[in-house]
Amino acid sequence: MLKKIKIILIFFVLAIIVSVYFIIKPYYEFLTTDLSISPIKILLSDNSLKKVEDSVNVLVLGIAGGQHDGPNLSDSILVFRYNFKTNHLTTIGIPRDIWSDTLKDKINTAYAYGEAKQEDGGLKLAKAEVGAILGISIQYSAVINFNKFKELIDYLGGIDVNVEHALIDKKFPIEGKENDLCGGDTEYKCRYETLTFNEGTMFMDGKTALKFTRSRNAQGDEGSDFARSRRQQLVISAIKSKVIEIVKNNDIEKIKKLYQKADSLVNRDVSNQEVAIMFKDIVFSKNYSQRNVFLPEDLFIVPNYADYDNKYVLIPAENFDVIHQFVLCLFEKEDEDTCLKLNKVEKKE
C-alpha cells in the first residue's frame, strides 16, 4: 500500500515538474533568446545600472517621423526618474519651446541637430540639453517615432483615454496637404481639419490618439505646449494599462509580437537587461508610488520674438537655478504648489 502511494506521489510530482517546465520554458526562451536577458542577473544584482544617488533618469522623446516637416524634431519631451530607495517614479513633462542658449534654438531641436552630426548623436545631445534644463544628469534615453506609434496602438486594439479637458482644434494639419494651394484660398483652409475631443473617457485608435497628442492649435489653454504634454502622458498611461492586460493574459505569442512592434518604433541607449532590472524593482516593491507632473508655466515667460530669431520660445521667469530647485523639490515627492512657493514663484491669476 505504501509502495503504491509512493509511486503515485512520484508520478504526481513529475507531472507538476513537467507542466511547470512547459509553461515556463516559452517565457524563459523569450527572455534569454528574444530579449537577451539573464533572469539570474535580474534577480541577484542591479549593479549594472547607471545610478546617481539611488536614482535612474530616463529621457523619452517623441518625434514626428515620416514625411512631416522636421521629422526629427521632438514633439514630446518626458523625463522618468525612478528612485530605488523610495520606490517612487516621477514623470516630468517638459515644454518643447524652451530656449537653449547652447543650441541657439528651441530644446526640441536637440535630437535633430545631434542626428545631423552623427548617427545616434541625437540621444547624446538631447540628454545633455534636457539635463542642463532640469539640473540633473540623465543616464538613459529613448526616442519614439510617432509615425509608427499609431501602429502599436492599433495592434493593442485601441486604448481608452481619460480626456481631462475638452479640446477643439480648427487648424490641425492634414498630412500630404502641407503645400496645397487650395484653389486660390488665401487662408488655405483645405490644409486643415477640425479636431473635437469631449471631456471624459474616450476610445481611440492609433490615428485618433496621435492627433490627440499632436494638436497644438486648440482653443484656450489646450493650445499650449503644457497642455499637449499632459495629453501625451494620458495616452502613455492608457497604453501602459493595455500592455499590462496583455502580459497578465500570459499569451506568449502576443507578448512577442507586442515587443517586436514596440521595439521597431524606439531608438534607445538602454538595454533590455537594464529595463528588466528597473521593472523588477517596480513589480516587487511593496511601497511603489508614481506621479506625473509638468514644468509649470509659472516658471517661464515668453520673451520678445525679435530677440530669438522671431520664434515663439520660453525662457526662465528668473533663472535656471530656480527651475533646478523646483525639480529637486518635486523629486522629494512634494506637490507643485509647494515647490513653487519654496522657490518664491507667484502663481498667475
What does the pLDDT look like over 133-185, one tens digit per residue? 999 999 999 998 877 788 889 989 999 999 999 999 999 988 888 888 898 88
Show Cβ contacts of residue 64 under 8 Å, excluding neighbours closer than 6 positions. Answer: 70, 71, 73, 75, 146, 147, 214
Query: Scanning the structure block, which residue is given the C-alpha cell 538613459?
Result: 140
346/305: higher pLDDT: 305
Closest alpha carbon to 236 in 103, 117, 90, 78: 78
Q: Identify the band that residue 125 occupies on the pLDDT scale cut at 50, 70 and 90.
A: very high
Closest alpha carbon to 153 in 207, 232, 214: 207
Q: Is the pLDDT of residue 13 over 80?
A: no
Q: Cα 47–233–300 angle (5° rounding)?
A: 95
Alpha-carbon distance values, 289 to 88, 248, 281 (Å)? 5, 20, 12
What does the pLDDT look like over 309-336, one tens digit per residue? 999 999 999 899 999 999 998 888 667 7
Q: What is the pLDDT of residue 225?
A: 77
Q: What is the pLDDT of residue 161?
A: 94
Query: Scanning the structure block, which residue is given the C-alpha cell 526640441?
Result: 108
Q: What is the Cα–Cα distance from 99 to 115, expressed in whole angstroms?
A: 19
Q: Is the pLDDT of residue 43 over 70?
A: no
Phi then psi for residue 141, to 5 deg, are: -155, 160
Q: What percent of the chain has pLDDT over 70?
A: 83
C-alpha cell at 137: 544628469
Using DSSP bridges, classify how beta strands 88-93 and 159-163 pair: parallel, antiparallel or unpaired: unpaired
**pLDDT winner (highest mean) among 21-35, 220-234, 331-345:** 220-234
Q: What is the pLDDT of residue 70?
A: 73
Q: Identify the band that residue 6 occupies on the pLDDT scale cut at 50, 70 and 90.
A: low
Q: What is the Cα–Cα distance from 315 to 242, expressed in whole angstroms?
A: 37
Specify whether the CB–CB gap between 242 and 159 falls below 8 A.
yes
Q: Identify the band that residue 347 occupies on the pLDDT scale cut at 50, 70 and 90.
A: very low
Q: Is the pLDDT of residue 200 over 90?
A: yes
Q: What is the pLDDT of residue 290?
A: 84
Q: What is the Cα–Cα distance from 336 to 296, expressed in whole angstroms?
A: 8
Show Cβ contacts of residue 308 under 8 Å, excluding neighbours closer than 6 positions. Answer: 99
Work out the average pLDDT over 116-135: 93
23/248: higher pLDDT: 248
Q: What is the pLDDT of residue 31?
A: 66
Closest alpha carbon to 329 in 345, 317, 316: 345
Alpha-carbon distance values, 40 to 26, 32, 141, 337 (Å)? 17, 10, 25, 43
Could you state, in order of their start, the residue ranges of all structural domains in the chain?
Answer: 35-342
What's the mean per-residue pLDDT of the chain?
83
Q: Is the pLDDT of residue 21 over 60?
A: no
Q: What is the pLDDT of residue 176?
A: 81
Q: Identify the band that residue 288 occupies on the pLDDT scale cut at 50, 70 and 90.
A: confident
For domain 35-342, the CATH class is alpha beta
